Structure 1
Amino acid sequence: MMLTEQNNKADQNPVDAAMAWHGGDPRATIEALLQDRIWLQEQLAIAKACMGKGYTRGWMPGAEFEQ
C-alpha cells in the first residue's frame, strides 16, 4: 500500500490521520502535537503583540475556544 493511499483512508478521522502521519507511533504523535501547540501559542502571542486594540475594537486573540 502506498503512503498516499494510507493517508486517504486515515483522513476520515483526524486522530487516525495524526497516527498514520507518525507511522502509528503514539508517543511521536503526542510529542508532535505538543510541539505544534507550543508553536501556535508563540504565533498567537506575536499576533496579539502586533494588533492594536483600536483595529480590533477591543478584541484581542486568545487561546479560548468553544467546543
Structure 2
Amino acid sequence: MAEEALKEDVDAVVAYHDGDVRAAITTLLLDCRHLRLQLALAEGQTIGSMTAGSRPTAQRT
C-alpha cells in the first residue's frame, strides 16, 4: 500500500501508544512475529491436503 493510504492507520497506532513511536513499532513487530507463527502453523496443517505445486507460503511477495 502507498504510504499516504496508511497515514490514518499510522497516526492511530501512534496515538494509541500516547505518541510513543518506539512502543508502537514494538507492538507492530510483535504482532508480525505472532502472525508469522500462526501462518507457519496453518501451513503445517494444510500441507497434507494441498496438491503438488500449490503450497501456500508465509513469505511476502
**TM-score, length basis structure 2:** 0.70
Matching of residues 26-37 of structure 1 within 5 Å: 26-37=21-32
Q: Distance in 2 between matches of 1:17 and 1:23?
A: 10
Deviations 1:8-47 (A, max 9, x none): xxxx711011111111100000100110010011000000
> In proportion to residue count, which structure has more helix?
2
Match for residue 33 of structure 2? 38
Percent identity of paired positions between Structure 1 and Structure 2:
39
Match for residue 16 of structure 1? 11
Secondary structure of the residue aligned to 1:51 is helix
State the AA in 1 paired with 2:21. P
Superposition deviation, residue 61 in structure 1: 2.6
Q: Give the structure, 1 or 2, with the largest relative contact order (CA under 8 Å, sep 6 or more).
A: 2
Match for residue 47 of structure 1? 42
**TM-score, length basis structure 1:** 0.65
Return 5+ residue gaps in structure 1 as ranges.
1-11
Secondary structure of the residue aligned to 1:59 is coil
The number of residues matched between the two structures is 54
Q: Distance in 2 between matches of 1:43 and 1:27?
A: 24
RMSD in angstroms over aligned alpha carbons? Answer: 1.9
Return 5+ residue gaps in structure 2 as ranges.
1-6
